[in-house]
Structure 1
Amino acid sequence: MLLSVNIDEAGYSPDSTVLKNIHFSVDSGELVGLIGPNGAGKSSTIKSILGIMKNVKGDCQASNYAYIPERPILYEKLTLWEHIEFLLTTLQTDEKLYMTRANELLKQFQLSEFIHRYPESFSKGMQQKVMLVLAFLRQPDLYIVDEPFMGLDPRAVKRLLQSLQSEKERGAGILMSTHILDTAEKICDRFVLISNGRLIVQGTLDEIRERSGIRGGSLLDCFDVLTEGVSDVRK
């Protein structure tokens, strides 16, 4: 098991609860979709896993991971290539293999011609691709990905999905937060459905269909049924 999440309660202050009874895990070689509408508690769950949420009752244990945030975080004074060189200094890896992989990823995400430019001048989509390249260069045991499709063009989305599949085959586990349910339905092995800060259901698509009572239904259809009437934990 690469990630174990056992959150009894979590909030941004001692008297404010935004999450309640969130329990799930991620194993090697699987992609788990953390899904729900905007404001469901997906980002708060990730913050709890990363240790950013200070008021957490429970425990989250994660293996060596790479985090890809929804909003890119980059150094203003470093070029794209300098980001790659800096990351190398933090890793124990073969430099030649690392640089070969870096160039392959830059080509894959169509960033090769921008390596000597500053990412702060890039578009949101290009900055997101930089974050993806840096994460895939690390080759961690676990990826924690928050809304990865925001700002990416269709070709970049395809490249991202190919890379995630390759990392799964390598044995990495992936937790991917998204509210784009049609894409999640196609690529995720299991799902963790959250609404209003509560875990509604988790399992494979077939298991979720069974819980919702919609035989052959889409993930969105099942989610609508399962989240109807769910009260907010903050009330």
Structure 2
Amino acid sequence: MSLDIKNLSGGYGQLTVLKDISFVVPDGTLTALVGLNGSGKSTTINHVIGLLNPKQGSITLNGLSLTQQPVDYKAQIAYIPEQPVVYEELTLKEHLALTIATYHLDEKIAWQRANELLKTFRLDDKLTWFPTHFSKGMRQKVMIVMAFITDAKLFIIDEPFLGLDVIAVNDLLTLIDNRKKQGVTFLLTTHVLDTIDKHADQFVYLKDGQVAAQGAASDFVTLVPELAVDEG
């Protein structure tokens, strides 16, 4: 099973941003959703996570429909947004406790996983900190830890490397690779493919709200030469 987007059109109010896009994200793979600003990447993500309703088309995840089985559909997803979403009145420990409760996780297993991730991202001595003390990069790390303590089948990560230091980027890529080996699926947005070209299995290139190209990550330079030139 997989994430299957068929003939999706949608946007905001009367504004149609996405125009009949279709692609599949197979199990245990990383699909890079690539495109310049305004291409429709974030709008696609907002439809997949259920923040926007499709004007036409369908979205299913492991056979569950977003429109027909929204609760069970969304329970399979962990989302890391481009701009971290944190609660100023909660400590880091309380953020993790909220995630564990929301996803109905086994507390012992979840906290073991959390402690390992906190050490990896050098947050293990900051459990009593409030978000006001966190930098942008640290807030991003909090979002990563919250997502990866779950047993989500699909991780959606929106421009994950903005604000992260080099070590954190490598740690995140290692986490992604390890979860992929366990059959977990990833949809990741990026402007260019250079950071994750060795980790992505396929790409979908959006341009003006349409799928302009898609294929194996190794074929990106051939199929999307305009972005390859920009990278060079």
Q: Does the alignment reach a TM-score above 0.5?
A: yes
**Structure 1 counterpart SS, 2:19:** strand
Q: Structure 2: how far apart are the matches of 1:192 and 1:124? A: 28
Alignment-derived partner of residue 25 in structure 1: 24
Alignment-derived partner of residue 5 in structure 2: 5
Match of 1:129 among 121, 129, 141: 141
Match of 2:186 among 149, 174, 178: 174
1:163 maps to 2:162: no
Q: Structure 2: how far apart are the matches of 1:117 and 1:184? A: 31
Q: Is 27-36 or 44-53 further displaced after alignment?
A: 44-53
Alignment-derived partner of residue 227 in structure 2: 220
Largest Rg, 1 or 2: 1
**Structure 1 counterpart SS, 2:213:** strand
Q: Is 180-189 or 144-153 further displaced after alignment?
A: 180-189
Alignment-derived partner of residue 228 in structure 1: none
Q: Structure 1: how far apart are the matches of 2:207 and 2:143? A: 28
How far the C-alpha of 1:5 sits from its partner, in A, is 1.1
CA offsets 1:54-98 (integer angstroms, 9 cap, x no match): 352111123511011111111121100111122222233332221
CA offsets 1:151-171 (integer angstroms, 9 cap, x no match): 101011011001111110111
CA offsets 1:121-163 (integer angstroms, 9 cap, x no match): 3111000000000000012101011000011010110110011
Alignment-derived partner of residue 97 in structure 1: 109
Alignment-derived partner of residue 214 in structure 2: 202
TM-score, normalised on structure 2? 0.87
Q: Percent identity?
A: 42
Q: Structure 1: how far apart are the matches of 2:24 and 2:60? A: 9
Which structure features the higher share of helix residues?
A: 1
Unaligned runs of at least 5 residues, structure 1? 225-235
Sort the Cα spacing of 1:124 and 1:61 in 2 relative to 1 into closer, same or farther, 3 A: same
Q: Structure 2: how far apart are the matches of 1:45 and 1:223? A: 23
Q: Structure 1: how far apart are the matches of 2:141 and 2:160? A: 9
Check conservation: 1:2, 1:141, Cα contact below 8 A: no
**Structure 2 counterpart SS, 1:168:** helix
Q: Structure 2: how far apart are the matches of 1:67 and 1:91? A: 13
Alignment-derived partner of residue 58 in structure 1: 57
Which stretches of structure 1, 4 residues or more, deviate above 3 A after TM superposition?
A: 205-212
Check conservation: 2:7, 2:21, Cα contact below 8 A: yes
Alignment-derived partner of residue 165 in structure 2: 153
Q: Structure 2: how far apart are the matches of 1:117 and 1:150? A: 22
CA offsets 1:94-114 (integer angstroms, 9 cap, x no match): 322211111000000110111
How far the C-alpha of 1:53 sits from its partner, in A, is 2.0
1:186 maps to 2:193: no
Sort the Cα spacing of 1:22 and 1:169 in 2 relative to 1 into closer, same or farther, 3 A: same
How far the C-alpha of 1:37 sits from its partner, in A, is 1.2
Q: Structure 2: how far apart are the matches of 1:91 and 1:19? A: 30
Amino acid at match of 2:92: L
Q: Structure 1: how far apart are the matches of 2:152 and 2:86? A: 19
